[in-house]
Amino acid sequence: MILRHATPDRRPETVSDHATAIRCLCLDVDGVMTDGRVLVAADGGRARAFHVHDGYGIQLFRQALGEVVIISGKACGSIESRARELGLTQLSLGSKDKLADLRRIAAQLGLRLDEIAAMGDDWPDLPLLRAVGYAIAPANAVREVRESARFITQRSGGDGAVREAVEHLLQRTGRWQALREQHLSSPLHGATS
């Protein structure tokens, strides 16, 4: 068994770490797709900021590996709007049990949990992260989540961490180079990020 340490923060990865079997990416929102801050206006309206690199990373994952799912404990228009913009249809917003929701979505998609990579940052994500085939944490995740992750990004949530996770998965599955060459050799038409 070969162990590889990327940084002292990262859990050792092995050749048999299941990354090559991944067909779906499940994302939390606050702290993963955003930096975790929620802007609240005087009238009570709320807003979140999403990074365009993450959006393009999601498109790359969908093109090369499969489905992207969003499961969030929050239910709000900004998340729904961003998901629509990215063409994502598998959402569970206002989730009270993220693992149960992922099991339901996986069954609908005909996927096993070991074919799913998931990215979360806080305690509510732990049951889900411990059940999937490949757990990922952004740099800003709480300690317990980082300890449960196979991969920890250098970037924090909302600052390109999803894109970094997607690149990692594409590299681990051997699809990064071909996808990169394909995109560099042809113009991108209508890419959404």
Taken in order of first residue, the domains within the chain and their CATH numbers are 20-182 (3.40.50.1000)
pLDDT given at position 121? 98
CA distances from 3 to 11, 12, 17, 158 (A): 10, 6, 10, 30
Contact 139, 161 (CB under 8 A): yes
pLDDT given at position 2? 28
Which of the four pLDDT bands, split at 50, 70 and 90, describes residue 29? very high
pLDDT given at position 167? 95
Q: Which residue has the higher pLDDT, 144 or 185?
A: 144
Give tens-digit pLDDT for 126-135: 999 999 999 9
Which tokens belong to 19?
Answer: 């990354």
Interval 169-187 mean pLDDT: 86
Q: Which residue has the higher pLDDT, 43 or 149?
A: 149
pLDDT given at position 48? 92
Give tens-digit pLDDT for 152-172: 999 999 999 999 999 999 999
pTM of the prediction? 0.86
Q: For the CA atoms of 118, 121, 123, 128, what is the dihedral angle to 10 degrees?
A: 0
Which of the four pLDDT bands, split at 50, 70 and 90, describes residue 125? very high
Q: Is the dihedral of CA 143, 148, 73, 83 positive or negative?
A: positive
pLDDT given at position 38? 87
